[in-house]
Amino acid sequence: MTFLRHTASHLAKDLRLEWRSREAINGVLFFALLVVIVVSLAFDPTSNPTLAREIAGGILWIAILFASITALNGSWLREQRNGVLDAQRLAPSAPSALFLGKVLANFLFVSVVELVLAPVFAVFYNLHPLGDTRLLALILPLGTWALVVNGTFFAALSLRARSRELLLPLLLLPVILPALLGSIQATAGVLTAELDAGYINFWIRALLAYDIIFTTVSLLLFGVVLNAE
Amino acid sequence: MTPPSTAPAIEITDAARIFGSFAALRHCSATILAGTITLLLGENGAGKSTLLRLIAGLGTPSRGSVRVFGEAPHLLRSRVAYVSHSTMLYDELTALENLRYFASLQSAGPQCACSSGSPEMALRAVGLDPHLSRPVGQFSQGMRQRTALARALQTDPDLLLLDEPFSNLDVAGVRGMIDLLLDFRTWPSKSSPAGRTILLTTHQADLVRPIADVTLTLRDGVLAREESVRRSA
């Protein structure tokens, strides 16, 4: 109970900080919109709906990935300002509660951006999905959680490094690659309806397993990262 | 006034803290009794902040040991409060929001965090209006300093570690803070019968020396002098 109460406190604090500053959501949203619009201008997907459906999944996830990295870097910088991270280390609260609270907050920020991005994406790419679009309600959160849980962990790991902006993508991209591949494959499968349902289900189950494994490992290791000198 | 006890609050035994090839602390040994106010003096870079961070549990000695109430410092999070050079506060939140957040992280619940009073009371104790709607980022340096002290006091600590707590205060502000620390020392404590222990560093030694029981002096990472002084306050 204490763990959940502390997690809720961290989450509420992060949501309040974001509501006041809007640093993360604005940054992620503008970057993601920029990628989607620039790519649509470069390839003109409206002239070829089949091509649009094939590449849309990849473009969507790449936009979310790169946009999220900026927000994930910033989420720990708030804790570093004024030495608040030391106060967190001194608090009689589990480090994993701090981590989980921040992951949940980042997950909400990125999910809000995805909700705004989805209609823009559909318009710019003239998308008419041929598969079962209800599956996207599973694929998007699972893929986003994979990105956010690893991104939050590696952002904390690179917090004390001088070139942390460079370090985060270098650490994150190799680890997130399987989840990214799964998310892109499953999303493309839903949009094109060229993959059978079993294949899409396989990727959804793989994403779920990936999320469970990496969330558990991150929660177990975060205390070491937080208290590293 | 509670007389100082003979029970040690802090035991430092041959402690050293080495960063790469630089020894911030060397061969430090000292015992600080529970219920005392100890003044830690030294020039910039003497190792005062490093020693305070070791006692707070924000680092581990490269050699030797530091014990707080007989335990490793990181095992006593709820009994020790630390105020550093930085405010350890979120600029975007109000003082009350900051204090409520940190109170909610106390292990046994918010009510435990406030056994000596609520976040509102802690803010009033340091002379701040708890209902100020301005975020801490818009406070003056002195107000931030007082909010940082309120954050520490609201946890009802048995050991209070203060790193340059008066650096941004005027003389009247320092006197007010000293009165507050003297008052805090007399707050009843269930877990430390000898009373509260305060260890602070400052460059304004003349103002603080009258309330100190003991003065320690650090020079180039070595505890150079220990002096018992009579408390006149």
Number of structural domains (chain B) is 1
Residue with tokens 């701040």: B128
Tell which residue, A77, A135, A145, has the closest CA to residue A109.
A145
Q: How far is B131 from chain A (nearest CA, A)?
A: 17
**Does residue B191 form part of some domain?**
yes
Judged by a CB distance cut-off of 8 A, whether residue A2 touches chain B is yes
Work out the mean pLDDT of chain A and round it to a whole number: 89
Q: How confident is the model at residue B94 (pLDDT cuts 50, 70, 90)?
A: very high
**Does residue B2 form part of some domain?**
no
A and B: number of Cβ contacts within 8 A: 74
% pLDDT > 90, chain B: 41
pTM for this model (two decimals): 0.89
pLDDT value of residue B51: 94
What would the pLDDT profile of B60-89 be if each residue is shown by its tens digit?
999 999 999 998 988 888 889 999 988 999
Q: What is d(CA A31, CA A34) in angstroms, rounded to the nearest whole number?
A: 5
Q: A132: domain range?
A: 2-226
- CB contact under 8 Å between B78 and A92, yes or no, is yes
Pairing of strands B37-41, B197-201: parallel
By C-alpha distance, the chain B residue nearest A80 is B88
**Residue A40 parent element (H or E):** helix A23-43
Using a CB-CB cut-off of 8 Å, the residues of chain B touching A22 are none
Q: How confident is the model at residue A139 (pLDDT cuts 50, 70, 90)?
A: very high
Q: B80: domain range?
A: 8-228
By C-alpha distance, the chain A residue nearest B112 is A92
Choose the weakest-confidence range: A147-161, B2-16, B37-51: B2-16
Query: Which residues fall within 8 angstroms of residue B48, CB to CB, at 6 or more apart?
Result: B40, B41, B42, B163, B201, B218
**Of A36-40, A143-147, B115-119, B175-179, highest mean pLDDT:** A143-147
How many CA atoms lie within 13 Å of B224's alpha carbon, on the beta-carbon side? 11
**Does residue B14 form part of some domain?**
yes
- Other C-beta atoms closer than 10 Å to the C-beta of A228 total 10
Interface test with A, best of B78, B105, B111 (most A CBs within 10 A): B105
**Does residue B198 form part of some domain?**
yes
Residue A60 in this model has a pLDDT that exceeds 60: yes
**Does residue B1 form part of some domain?**
no
Domain holding B63: CATH number? 3.40.50.300
Q: How confident is the model at residue A110 (pLDDT cuts 50, 70, 90)?
A: very high
Number of structural domains (chain A) is 1
Judged by a CB distance cut-off of 8 A, whether residue A3 touches chain B is no
Residue A184 in this model has a pLDDT that exceeds 70: yes
Q: How confident is the model at residue B111 (pLDDT cuts 50, 70, 90)?
A: very low
Residue B114 in this model has a pLDDT that exceeds 50: no
User: Can you give the length of chain B in residues?
Assistant: 233
- CB contact under 8 Å between B105 and A9, yes or no, is yes
Closest in B81, B91, B107 to A81, CB measured: B91
